[in-house]
Chain A
Amino acid sequence: MTTRTLRRWFVVHKWTSLVCTLFLLTVCVTGLPLLFSEQIWDIFVGDDDPPYEVLPPGTPNASLDVIVEKARALYPGQIITNVNPDDDEPAVLVSMAPSWQALKDDETYPDRHSGHWIKFDARTAKVLEQSRPADAPREPRTWTGIIMSTCNRLHTSLFAGLPGRLFLGLMGGVFVASLISGTVLYGRFMKRLPFGSVRRDRASRLTWLDLHNLLGAATLVWATVVGFTGLVNELQTPLFGLWRVTDVRQILKPYANLPVPLQDHLSSVQTAFDTAARAAPGNEVTGLSFPGASFGSPVHYVLWTRGATPLRARLFTPVLVDARTGELTGAYPMPWYLRFLEISRPLHFGDYGGMPLRILWALLDVVVIGVLVSGLVLWAGKRKIATDARLRALGYDLDDTDGVPALAERA
């Protein structure tokens, strides 16, 4: 490698790192509490839901049609929007609203929330809990809630919505470029230094450089994977949008102009769940949206199914069941780019290998913070050297009593 190429790589590494370091530090620091958010909520807020009734094991679940009827009876004249059996509790969440139009209007009035939910016991079909009425005074926010939501929004969008997400995605790309250029430089400058040496008997700048190299080399693959999957995650809105305007639009085209039928004339919800389970073998059905939902068809139940193994747990396959007849219209596996997105999610969150994996994720994250900080120290130090050299050239007399004289001399 010629000196010129080397210098180019150095410039690439310097600028890509400078551009993304501040944002990467933000993301690394806010990611730490997010890793343990379940535990943090459990410890500081806890679960004040009433305990579930103890029933003999093997008690069958109530038919979803019974639950849907009960929900309708509680709010006559309203519509049901979603039915979602809980993942790990014997509960079914039924979401309702005055009308689809009311939900649509909510988007223009950020203070209005016309949707609400009712939680049923899945086995007895008894009401367990309801969402707070829209006109009730708002629940005071807890510190945990404030801190966690701040971290979450900083981490995913810098409080800037979709532009923030895309910007952070771009920073993820720049970070990957900085890792690649950093690897090239590492190969060049570790030629005469055994792996892992940290020289402490010379200028402190060399200690920082060695630290930067050691921490960077140890976490290179992890940082690349988490950085790249973070970038992919930030692209989810445009990717889902792409799917909606291509495949989904094509599938729904024949039904697009049909009127939404009244809800009391629709086919059985329980049968729709059973039909979907048969249509997507190996998947579990996680929820159902009623005809008329903004992303769906006016005449179909949309059932969301997902893979039953952890690798495929985020691979959703929507199933359409005609709500007028109860017949299967089809199952539609996601296109390759959304499958790629869903597979890359666990690799970003580190939530697929129990608590030890989360702890390792946190420790690796801390090491990456070390790489970022040592990189900043090196850059700041070099700026000082350059400034000192320039001042000297202008005839100023500087004392070399601080930590970086050796290289300044050489410069």
Chain B
Amino acid sequence: MMDIHKRGYAQPDMLVSTQWVEDHLNDADVRFIESDEDTLLYFSGHIPHAVNVDWVADLNDPVRRDYIEKEGFEELMSRLGMTKDTLAIFYGDQNNWWACYAFWVFQLFGHSKAKIMDGGRLKWEKEGRPMSKDQTDFPRSAYTANNRDDGKIRVFREQVLQHVQQKKSLIDVRSPEEFSGERLHMANYPNEGALRGGHIPGAKNVPWSRAIDTDTGEFKPADELQKIYMHYLNIQPQDEIITYCRIGERSSHTWFVLTYLLGFENVRNYDGSWTEYGNLVNVPIER
């Protein structure tokens, strides 16, 4: 596909190409971070010098349904040998779905020196670029994190209900079957399901994967993204938008697209998503 800087994105510098990554493999102030749905992938081989961030073990609180706190993030970043000046380049499987999720959690702590490798792990592999099975260890650092800020890019259920009442835009990025309520939960995985099927009232359905060029795995150019989001949903960059899915990971991909590629100023991700909303008592649901 065309060069990232020619695709018309609001912030093209939030993406790097696979070639850029290969050219910077040995940069000490860059950390390549793999984050996958399939947690075996990293151990089967990864970009040389890349570290692994596990979406459950590293980013989630082990007891509460919440993300790690300041101390947990400091421990993670120190273990990865990172400082506030280290540029984090995220990549992963599933067209960077989990990479965007990890990126989003990093932004809760304000680690703004972060980008996504366009095309993700699959593009890197398909291009035959170098892979390594070596364990990556960096000297431990002493990272001092900001407190987690849930106010700017994250929303909770009360805010979602208010948003619904105010008839503001919600984007449900799940599959059409999940959106319609036809599919309640996946077989054998009721713990990621909900008691009710459907969607949050007023939400429009744009599956997250529509932002991806299926041939290359890269993000589509801005004009195509504008058609998908702005024209179809009739939303503008200054609008308040909430994205959600089942547990907030697919919707962080759409959050990234709207915020950085289309320049939306006020997009927040509802990570409680349908597993919370679809289990709430006495809230309105649409089918």
* A, B: real partners: no
* B residues adjacent to A (C-beta < 8 A): none
* A residues adjacent to B (C-beta < 8 A): none
